Amino acid sequence: MVAPLNVGIAGLGTVGADVVRLIETQGRALAERSGRGIRVVAVTARSKAKKRGLDLRGIAWAKSPEALAEDPNIDCFVELMGGAGDPALSAIETALKAGKSVVTANKALIAKHGLRLATAAEKHGGALNFEAAVGAAIPVIKTLREGLAGTSVNRVYGILNGTCNYILTRMEQEGLSFEECLKDAQRLGYAEANPSFDVDGHDTAQKLAILASLAFGTKVAESAVYVEGISSITPEDLKAAAELGYRVKLLGVAVRTAKGIEQRVHPTMVPKSSPIAQVMGVTNAVAIDGEGIPPITLVGPGAGGGATASAVVADIADVARGIRAKPFGRPVERLRDTAKAPMERHEGGYYIRLMARDLAGTAATIATRLAEQKISLESIVQRHPDGVDVNGAAKKPSPVPVILITYATSEDAVHRALAAVQRDKVISGRPQVIRIEKN
Amino acid sequence: MVAPLNVGIAGLGTVGADVVRLIETQGRALAERSGRGIRVVAVTARSKAKKRGLDLRGIAWAKSPEALAEDPNIDCFVELMGGAGDPALSAIETALKAGKSVVTANKALIAKHGLRLATAAEKHGGALNFEAAVGAAIPVIKTLREGLAGTSVNRVYGILNGTCNYILTRMEQEGLSFEECLKDAQRLGYAEANPSFDVDGHDTAQKLAILASLAFGTKVAESAVYVEGISSITPEDLKAAAELGYRVKLLGVAVRTAKGIEQRVHPTMVPKSSPIAQVMGVTNAVAIDGEGIPPITLVGPGAGGGATASAVVADIADVARGIRAKPFGRPVERLRDTAKAPMERHEGGYYIRLMARDLAGTAATIATRLAEQKISLESIVQRHPDGVDVNGAAKKPSPVPVILITYATSEDAVHRALAAVQRDKVISGRPQVIRIEKN
């Protein structure tokens, strides 16, 4: 009989407590699946006194994450404290240098220090598993690292932040503003008091950098991701998108182009019929385009104690079974540098919403300016101006929305065309521009 | 440097040829991911002379699958011949008994002889991987075997047959009959000349038996699956379903109930808003409900040379990396017997379509008969009878469709109620009954 895998857990919040419970309740199944027992032998957290509803008798209490990482009784160090730096970083490094395996749900840490930690894991022979860091229980890391090991990936993209998708879903379904939906999300606990990390796209960018590394063999680097959040999106955009057969999602997209790997996070129009467009509320989804095979889409909970704990325990079971995959799929020394893609060179379709001062003249001007940049239009929608008041008298003409969908063109060309239109003074305010991603 | 993994491939059809090509073109990435090279050293197929567009120089040609399985130069035997018996069965058994690992895409063989083969794999220490057998490149086997190792699964269900989903999609979208769509599917190569294996649900049943074993630790057994095909479904059913917010899919469902594990394949009404309802055409999907976590849905190609080869190569890469999971997640000796669930004890909602001879009297009779069986109705739709002819004269009343959606009840109760309604002679023809699966 193989000796059981001895697990130490640093961090006993919702996820940590759920992991302790799962290992307890699923003990027999885990042993059958792993070929050896898995047991929690030591834990640590900020407060020992806090009530957690856990029976921790027989489990040692380490005086610090560092002490737990050093504990010679531990085979597998599970980091569930969070935070992109110490104490998580140094404790994980200590554990890896001692030859232990590490499981973490900490996306920020992996996005920032993943390379350094993977180097330590490879050097000392331990595993570094982080399935829960992206898409919680959705097995997206395992799919990219192992399930598509024989497939050249051309694009990986997804809805990686439940808060943003919740907000966009409610804005679309109820015609509410971004601010109203954000407030509701905060009230319901879907958004933080300081929502910037979520709604400005940084959370998505960290997760995307991890996925891109696994898919394309790039060095994980949040700084290589172009980031744009959802705060500029209006209910009018969502309504226009719907009428044209699209839906707006905050996507993280990593794609192989002729100019290199492009990593970007921004509000995106996706065809309503695409699997990713069906994903509503706090649910996450990742779509993967592999060479020569139709897209694969994985949909599920992107957060939550139970879902995160499920992924953490699966990672622990992989350690127990002796699986030692390269953390980023390939040896760290083979990972390639990646630079932030210059978005002015991005090519794709665009949604453009303008407020025309005077419909007849503006349409002609816009058409001319787009043609000068060789931009072709897939569709154009001019809203009927509400030209008469309730008494039937003609009203003073007010700006009228004009909505354009372009065929694939470069972002540069779009910017040049719109700058010219603005110089022509035929529109009021700034044009709204949203990139289109086709499936 | 670790010695490369030497692969032998039996069967060089579309998938086999694609596997040879993938191992060649993805060679470097595979070596980086696996930590060792992977090379095809020997192959066999029925005809050596056949043109395949493959460069087989330097690759040995074995005189039979059996000879290939015995070849001491081979570490990993890849079976891509198909067929639920010999030569595939005996060749795989030979390879496993020699301590080799085996990769196969052969669902029929795994469904029928999986236990026997898994026993040999466990005894002799080789892997037995069959990701491609269910859902091709969709990583559903890996997700159940590894990704949800720490999660108790309550239900796994899915669209596992592209032919049926293609037919149902076209029937719904174009109002065509089953027969018309089947003919088109045959013309397009989506359905076999003898379509019974697909449309009668047997293909789905074999795949479901494999998924159920991985999810619930049951002995894989096609005979434990209740099976019903799609040939009785009419465009009228699909139209009525749509009006009531449902779509009809051929689902394979394995679910934990108070009475044991229920495995069943049948046309199923699913809420239109569910992820599984969005899956159209030949695409496959699997949804997994784990204890304490929201559903996970995996969507993608369920067949095709490229998608199948992708899964086969990933399985080979797992062998190269030294992964030796138990074929069915748990040791064979721990897998539990499972009996075919008696469907009369199945509990759920039901769609019932009746042709009423005379609307007024029939509605009262039906309501009485359902009430006698304590069946409650979620909705009832009585179609407007086309009671007047083009000249405005009253027509002889003809049977009028009545559509019922019940709340959860037992199948037994539904059958008893409908038998009574038939005895009452208020309907013409047989009632159509379709089970409802809620997400």
Burial A352-371 (b: 16+ CB within 10 A, else e): bbbbbeebeebbebbeebbe
The full DSSP string for A222-286 is GGGSEE--STT--HHHHHHHHHTTEEEEEEEEEEEETTEEEEEEEEEEEETTSGGGG--TTEEEE
Per DSSP, which regions of B201-342 are E strands? 226-227, 246-257, 260-271, 283-290, 296-301
**Ramachandran region, residue A259 (left: φ > 0; alpha: ψ -120 to 50; beta: rest):** alpha
Domains of chain A with CATH codes = 5-133 (3.40.50.720), 140-301 (3.30.360.10), 344-436 (3.30.70.260)
Report pLDDT for A363. Answer: 81
Please state, rounded to an integer, the average pLDDT across all residues of chain A: 93
The region of weakest confidence among A158-167, A182-191, B167-176 is: A182-191
Please state, rounded to an integer, the average pLDDT across all residues of chain B: 93
Residues in chain B with CB shorter than 8 Å from the CB of A22 are 150-151
Which residue type is seen at A290?
Answer: G
Q: What is the pLDDT of residues B380-430, one digit of tens each?
A: 888 665 544 455 555 556 788 899 999 999 999 999 999 999 999 989 899
Nearest-Cα distance to chain B for A305, in Å, is 9
Report pLDDT for A323. Answer: 87
Nearest-Cα distance to chain B for A17, in Å, is 14
Report pLDDT for A325. Answer: 85
Residues 271-290 of B with CB under 8 A from A: 275, 278-279, 283, 290
Instruction: Considering only residues A363 and B34, tell me which one the structure prediction assigns the higher pLDDT.
Output: B34
B95 CB within 8 Å of a chain A CB: no
Instruction: Considering only residues A122 and A395, tell me which one the structure prediction assigns the higher pLDDT.
Output: A122
ipTM score for this prediction = 0.93
Given a cut of 80, whether residue B439 has pLDDT beyond it is no
Active site residue A123: no
> Closest Cα partner for A209 from A297, A130, A91, A290?
A130
Report pLDDT for B434. Answer: 97
Per DSSP, which regions of B97-221 are E strands? 101-104, 128-129, 153-159
How many A-B residue pairs are in contact by the CB < 8 A criterion?
199
Residues in chain A with CB shorter than 8 Å from the CB of B331 are 32
Report pLDDT for B392. Answer: 53
Report pLDDT for B391. Answer: 56
Contact between B217 and A29 using a beta-carbon 8 Å cutoff: yes
Report pLDDT for B192. Answer: 83
pLDDT-based confidence at residue B2 (cuts at 50, 70, 90): confident
β-strand B260-271 against A38-44: which pairing, if any? Answer: unpaired
Contact between B139 and A145 using a beta-carbon 8 Å cutoff: no
Residues in chain A with CB shorter than 8 Å from the CB of B137 are 147-148, 151, 290, 293, 296
Nearest neighbour of A278 by CB, restricted to B275, B294, B318: B275
Q: In degrees, to the nearest 5, what angle opens at C-alpha B180 toward C-alphas B174 and B184?
A: 90
pLDDT-based confidence at residue A111 (cuts at 50, 70, 90): very high
Contact between A325 and B326 using a beta-carbon 8 Å cutoff: no
Q: Which of B48, B207, B239, B340 is catalytic?
A: B207
| A72/A56 Cα distance (integer angstroms) | 20
Radius of gyration of chain B (CA): 25
Which residue type is seen at A287?
Answer: A
| A210/A202 Cα distance (integer angstroms) | 13
> Closest Cα partner for B152 from A306, A408, A209, A6?
A306
Residues 187-246 of A with CB under 8 A from B: 217
Residues 6+ apart with CB under 8 A from B430: B422
Report pLDDT for A362. Answer: 81
A296 CB within 8 Å of a chain B CB: yes
Instruction: Considering only residues B438 and A124, tell me which one the structure prediction assigns the higher pLDDT.
Output: A124
Helix axes A107-124, A202-216, angle to 10 degrees: 30
Q: Which of A207, A249, A395, A425 is catalytic?
A: A207
Residues 109-168 of B with CB under 8 A from A: 131, 136-139, 142-143, 145-152
The pLDDT of B187-199, averaged and rounded, is 89
Three-state SS for B93?
Answer: helix
B23 CB within 8 Å of a chain A CB: yes
The pLDDT of A236-246, averaged and rounded, is 94
Instruction: Considering only residues B52 and B268, tell me which one the structure prediction assigns the higher pLDDT.
Output: B268
Instruction: Please report, in angstroms and rounded to a whole number, the separation of the first and last CA atoms in chain B.
Output: 50
The pLDDT of B272-285, averaged and rounded, is 94
Q: What is the pLDDT of residues B315-372, one digit of tens each?
A: 999 999 998 889 999 999 999 998 898 899 999 999 999 998 876 778 888 889 999 9
Tell me the range of A47-51, A271-275, A410-414 where mean pLDDT is highest: A410-414
> Closest Cα partner for B16 from B51, B44, B47?
B44
The pLDDT of A365-383, averaged and rounded, is 90
Given a cut of 70, whether residue A394 has pLDDT beyond it is no
Report pLDDT for A396. Answer: 55
The pLDDT of A362-388, averaged and rounded, is 82
Contact between A149 and B314 using a beta-carbon 8 Å cutoff: yes
Contact between B299 and A298 using a beta-carbon 8 Å cutoff: yes
Residue A410: CB atoms within 10 Å: 18
H/E element, A187: helix A178-187
- Residue A256 and residue A151 in contact, taking contact as beta carbons nearer than 8 Å: no
Given a cut of 60, whether residue A390 has pLDDT beyond it is no
pLDDT-based confidence at residue B248 (cuts at 50, 70, 90): very high
Nearest-Cα distance to chain B for A275, in Å, is 7
Nearest CA in chain B to A38: B150
